[in-house]
Amino acid sequence: MSTTLKLFLITTFLSGLFFANPALSLEIKDRNEYLIDVRSDDGDIYLNRFSAHKKIDPLDLDINGFSEIQWNFDTTELEKMITGLETQKIFWNYLYASQSIQYISGQMLDHMAFDSDSNSIDATTSFGFYVPFYENFALQLIEQFSVNLERGRGEYCEMIAEVTYDFKDSYSFGIGWRHTDRIHAFDSDYVTASLELKF
C-alpha cells in the first residue's frame, strides 16, 4: 500500500471520529442524480452522493465528509467510486468556492491521458454561483476542475447549470445540464434530474 494511500485512509478515519461526535450538530444529505447522455457517446449515468456536513457559522464554512458512486447504464459498471473530505466557503451569500481531496477508483480512470492504476487520489476545486428567485427556486452555476495528485496532472473538468426547487428544509428537486470534459479524451453533455434529501 502506497504512503499516499495510507495517509489518506488515516485522515479519513480521524475525520470520521470527528463527525461521529454526538456533541456536534451535523446535517446529512443524500443526493441522487440521473444524467441523460444527449450525445450518446458515454451512456446514461446514475450518481449518488452521501455526505455529513458541519457548518462553522462565524467563518461561513461548510466541512463535509462524503462518498459518491457513479453507475453507467451502458457499461453496467461502477464508473467511479469516491470517498473524501471537502471544505466550502461562502462569499456574499451568492458565491462559493470549495476544495476537496478524495480517493477515487473505477472505470473513469481509463479515460485519463496518463497511465493510472485502478485507484488514485485526486483533488477537486469548485466555484459556484447561487441565485434564489421566485419563492423556493434557485439557479446554480458551477465549474469544477479535478487534478490527479499522484501524477500532478488534470483529470477532468465539469460545468454544471441547475434550477432547484426546495421543499421546506427536507428535500429539493433539480433539473439541469452538465458538460464533462475528460482532458485529452471525449467530452459528454447530459440533461440532469436530481433529488436531494436532507436530514
CATH number assigned to the domain comprising residue 173: 2.40.160
> According to the model, what pLDDT value does residue 46 have?
96
Question: Which one has a higher pLDDT value, 75 or 89?
Answer: 89
pTM, full prediction: 0.82
Q: Which long-range contacts (CB under 8 A, 24 or more apart) does 97-102 make?
A: 97/125, 97/126, 97/127, 97/128, 98/124, 98/125, 98/126, 98/128, 99/123, 99/124, 99/125, 99/126, 100/66, 100/124, 100/126, 101/8, 101/149, 102/66
- pLDDT digit string, tens, across residues 3-22: 666 656 666 665 555 555 54
> According to the model, what pLDDT value does residue 106 have?
75
> Is the pLDDT at 137 greater than 90, yes or no?
yes
- pLDDT digit string, tens, across residues 92-131: 889 999 999 999 887 665 555 455 556 888 999 999 999 9
How many domains in the chain? 1
Range of the structural domain that residue 36 is part of: 3-198
Which percentage of the chain shows pLDDT scores above 70?
A: 82
